[in-house]
Amino acid sequence: MEKAVARFEIRYTQFLDEHGKATGEFPDHSKNPDELVDLYRWMVLMRTYDAKAIALQRTGQLGTYAPILGQEAIEAGVGSTMHSDDVFLMTYREQGVQLMRGVTMTELFLYWSGDERGSDYQGPRRDFPICITIAAHCTHAAGAAYAIKLKGEKRAVVCALGDGATSKGDFYEGMNAAGAWKLPVIFLVTNNQWAISVPRSVQSAAETLAQKAIAAGIPNEQVDGNDIVAVRDAMKRALERARSGEGPSLIEALSYRLSDHTTADDASRYRSADEVAEAWKREPVLRLRNYLSAAGAWDRAREEALVRECNEQVQAAVQAYLDTPPPRPADMFEHLYETLPPALESQRLEALGPEPEPAGDKDTAVV
Amino acid sequence: MAEITLVEAINLALSHELQRDESVVVLGQDVGRDGGVFRSTLGLVDKFGPERVIDTPLAEGMIAGMAIGMAVEGIRAVAEIQFSGFAYTCIDQILNHAGRMRYRTRGRMSCPMVLRTPCGGGIHAPEHHSESPEAMFAHTPGIRVVYPSSPKSAYGLLLAAIRDPDPVVFLEPTRLYRLFKEDVTDDGAALPLDTCFTLREGTDVTLVTWGGMVHETLQAADTLAEEGYAAEVLDVATLKPYDLETILASVQRTGRCVVVSEAPKTAGFASEIAAAVGEHGLLYLMAPVGRVTGYDSVMPLARLEKQYMPSAERIADAARLAIGWSG
Ligand SMILES: Cc1ncc(C[n+]2csc(CCOP(=O)(O)OP(=O)(O)O)c2C)c(N)n1
């Protein structure tokens, strides 16, 4: 006897096509264009911030930086649907989500300048720090979700990762645990087609990355990640599932990394200008603007005012960042343990050097 | 002869071995089309094809594990881990498998592979890109840990590592990748493993170091020379198993020893050397063995890394302390 014991299908959602036209009726949360205007503002702010960060790096005022260009719809979709007391775990390319969750731009600049204080967010205090070791945070996300479930809380955990990250054991391990224990966690895979120089096709032979969740018994779907409405829709459903105790989800958001991998990378070495030009046609910001303009909710004057506002806001953050006094050598020991073990005191003094400690406030102002 | 950088020397050695021995393959993230994030595998895929210069999915444990599987099956795998902080996930594979394959099978199988990774700080990289994991690998039985310090030693030692019949962890000082050039002849001549190199002779103090810190240590020796002190500088080069004999012979002549490492102090490889010199060379010593190291803190983000890493000044201070020691 032979029979099929399992079958699967991967759902794909798009509401807003690449020209900014609705492909069908919008879900309730996005019916009113004025509500989308707010998200558009965030997306433009993200893009302004991103361009400034690159400019700062190019002029030696920031360290290696990972651009978010092209992923603004995913970031705004996640940022606008999560609650402030949810937990966000991220790699390094979700700075737009961070901004929406209350991490200040100045903190981001500090972090990317190589200053530890940038991870001490005044905003989302329960969000994890940027996880540079790819996919390691997938298991942390499962753990955080387990803790939340154990405490009987109605919070959700969102774990953002890239397509490359789905090749790592940590991703499978975290997802598997989340499925087994029905944990309130969402794995949000930003499939931007490239993991540095390795294209999505070399990363995995799987037809979709969404289907990787099937083996873990987790509901999964694909969305057009350049379509803010689709991202929000999938996120809202997944968050609802998590909060109501129905367990984890995986969302694969299809997008494209329009910029270099980081400022230390040169993407023209491994991908064609044609491919990038094609991707620009599908980019999320212009798409939403076209939609809003056609709906009469946006116009040139408002655009110009917004660009001005964003520039001012970014410039103020840059100034606050540049005005922040440099970190002190003793900071290396400041937060190593709750109380520095006496055995390390001599090392701390050595790091301080012969100069007396600079006077002033210990907790340097972080604006 | 050509003046090349350390990273070019790595490329030259890889190219030489890929050419010389058909069983050699190179694998890792971005090693193909991109030529590696540091360009150490630049152009190799064009010369040897994507089946021998393999862009892998993003998974370090898999890369190390696959290298082991290949090696057992007769392919000389040279695996690249993009940055040192991501090599920790390979420790399980190296410790529990690569280092024990020959031992566990009573010699029936061997594991001639190389795991290469850039190491150490000083290039203002993001976090986890500047770590010094040598002590963790050196603690592992059954493997070799090799850490070159110049274009010449990188070329000769990498050839030796690839040809070695046992697994080698090959650590590359990121900071020196492009810091200076040296004449390197692509003659396929390997340098010996398990041997210290005496980079500078001296009679007043023995400075023992490896990898990137060789650079600052030589600078310190210059400073000391201006003050009239002759420092002997030893490059350990192979950390496991290391050449204690050369170190002891030097300490016997100088009576003083300072070990320099940018890794954290406690339980670091500098501690191993200091302990061994104390154990076997007590009667030669006229001063306690000094250690100049990174701190027992996290390798900080870029803005404090300079304060973290031993400077030529700190090394010279420790040497002066040893020289001027009076009970
Ligand atoms: C464990 C680990 N290995 C390697 C790296 C180096 N690295 C940084 S980003 C990256 C590619 C990540 O690709 P992806 O997950 O698709 O995310 P994206 O950069 O596209 O946003 C690599 C290999 C790393 N940070 N962590």
* Among A93, A237, A241, A257, the one annotated catalytic: A257
CB contact under 8 A, A167 and B35: no
Residues of B in contact with A202 (CB under 8 A): 55, 57
Tokens found for residue B86: 């991501």
For testing contact with chain B, the best of A95, A168, A349 (most B CBs within 10 A): A168
Residues of A in contact with B80 (CB under 8 A): none
Tokens found for residue A355: 């100069």
**Residues A281-299: b if buried by 16+ CB within 10 A, e if exposed:** ebbbbebbbbbbbeeebbe
Which stretch of DSSP H or E encloses residue B76?
Answer: strand B76-80
- State residue A365's pLDDT score: 41
In order of A93, A176, B8, B45, B79, the CA distances from B41 in angstroms are: 27, 36, 9, 8, 11
At A222-242, the pLDDT tens digits run: 999 999 999 999 999 999 999
Give φ, ψ of A21 to 5 degrees: -100, 140
Contact A225, A74 (CB under 8 A): yes
Question: Among partner residues B37, B298, B303, which is closest to A114 by beta-carbon distance?
Answer: B303
CB contact under 8 A, B303 and A198: no
Over range A191-202, report the average pLDDT.
97
- State residue B172's pLDDT score: 98
Q: At A356, is the pLDDT very low, low, confident or very high (cuts 50, 70, 90)?
A: low
CB contact under 8 A, B58 and A203: yes
Residue A363 has pLDDT above 50, yes or no: no
- State residue A358's pLDDT score: 54
Q: Which atom of ligand 1 is nearest to the CA of A191?
A: 16
Residue A360 has pLDDT above 80, yes or no: no
- State residue A367's pLDDT score: 38
Closest CA to A20 of A228, A191, A190: A228
DSSP string, A178-215: HHHTT-SEEEEEEE-SEETTEEHHHH---S-SGGGGGG
Within its chain, how far is the Cα of B194 from the centroid? 12
Distance CA A210, CA A6 (A): 17
> Taking the alpha carbons of B42, B89, A98, A250 in that order, is the dihedral positive or negative?
positive
User: Distance, CA B60 to ligand 1 centroid (Å)?
Assistant: 11
User: Distance, CA A337 to ligand 1 centroid (Å)?
Assistant: 29
- State residue A72's pLDDT score: 98
Q: What percent of chain A has pLDDT over 70?
A: 96
A-B contacts (CB, under 8 Å): 107
Distance CA B161, CA B150 (A): 16
Distance CA B204, CA A3 (A): 82
**Residues B114-128: b if buried by 16+ CB within 10 A, e if exposed:** bbbbbbbbbbbbbbb
Question: Could you list the pLDDT tens digit for every one of the 327 residues in chain B?
Answer: 689 999 999 999 999 999 999 999 999 999 999 999 999 999 999 999 999 999 999 999 999 999 999 999 999 999 999 999 999 999 999 999 999 999 999 999 999 999 999 999 999 999 999 999 999 999 999 999 999 999 999 999 999 999 999 999 999 999 999 999 999 999 999 999 999 999 999 999 999 999 999 999 999 999 999 999 999 999 999 999 999 999 999 999 999 999 999 999 999 999 999 999 999 999 999 999 999 999 999 999 999 999 999 999 999 999 999 999 986
CB contact under 8 A, A169 and B37: no
Over range A99-119, report the average pLDDT.
97
User: Distance, CA A136 to ligand 1 centroid (Å)?
Assistant: 11
Pairing between β-strand B114-119 and β-strand B24-28 as defined by DSSP bridges: unpaired
Contact A128, A88 (CB under 8 A): yes
Closest CA to A317 of A362, A366, A360: A366
Give φ, ψ of A298 to 5 degrees: -150, 150
Interface of chain B toward chain A, CB-CB under 8 angstroms: 29-30, 32-35, 37, 55-59, 61-62, 85-86, 124-129, 265, 295-298, 300-305, 307-308
- State residue B2's pLDDT score: 87
Q: At A364, is the pLDDT very low, low, confident or very high (cuts 50, 70, 90)?
A: very low
Tokens found for residue B149: 């310090």
Tokens found for residue A275: 């491919």
Specify the range with the lowest mean pLDDT, choosing from A197-206, A241-250, A356-365, B101-110: A356-365
User: Distance, CA A184 to ligand 1 centroid (Å)?
Assistant: 25
User: Is the N-terminal amide bond of A184 cis, ω within 30° of 0?
Assistant: no
CB contact under 8 A, B296 and A133: no
Is position A328 annotated as part of the catalytic site? no
Distance CA A343, CA A339 (A): 11
Half-sphere exposure of B225 (CA within 13 A, CB side): 12
Beta bridge partners of A12: A222
Residue at A226: amino acid letter: N
In order of B5, B15, B159, B193, B232, the CA distances from B155 in angstroms are: 10, 11, 6, 12, 24
Q: Which protein residues are within 6 Å of ligand 1, measured from CB?
A: A 93, 132-134, 162-165, 192, 194-196, 257, 261; B 29, 58, 60, 82, 86
For testing contact with chain A, the best of B127, B128, B311, B321 (most A CBs within 10 A): B127
Distance CA B16, CA B10 (A): 10
DSSP string, B39-67: STTTTHHHHH-TTTEEEPPS-HHHHHHHH
Neighbours of B93 (CB within 10 A): 23
Contact B151, B182 (CB under 8 A): yes
- State residue A355's pLDDT score: 61
List of E strands, B174-317: 182-184, 197-200, 205-209, 231-235, 238-240, 257-260, 290-292
DSSP string, B195-232: --EEEE--SSEEEEE-TTHHHHHHHHHHHHHHTT--EE
Is position B129 annotated as part of the catalytic site? yes
User: Distance, CA A195 to ligand 1 centroid (Å)?
Assistant: 6
* Among A11, A270, A308, A335, the one annotated catalytic: A270
- State residue A353's pLDDT score: 77
